[in-house]
Amino acid sequence: MTSIAVKISLFIGKNNITKAEDLKTYLKVGFLVFLMMILILALDNLSLIIKNSIKIKRIENIKIIIQS
């Protein structure tokens, strides 16, 4: 995420982009990248939660089998 922001800022600095339209485009792209990163992190956390809940259920089933 930060590397993309650095590349965009370097590109703006090298090409002296000062037009409002170009800056709006970069802001839109940056915002979309930010939203995609949040989505990827949310899906990753969701998959970890699902995996952990499956592990907990398996452990509980094994404990029940051992006790009986």
pLDDT-derived band at 8, boundaries 50, 70, 90:
low
Domain boundary assignment for the chain: 2-67
Taking the model in full, what pTM does it have? Answer: 0.50
Yes or no: say if 1 and 32 are a contact pair by the CB < 8 Å rule: no
pLDDT tens digit sequence for 38-57? 988 888 888 888 888 888 88
Q: 33 vs 17, 25, 38, 59, 63, CA distance in Å?
A: 20, 12, 9, 39, 45
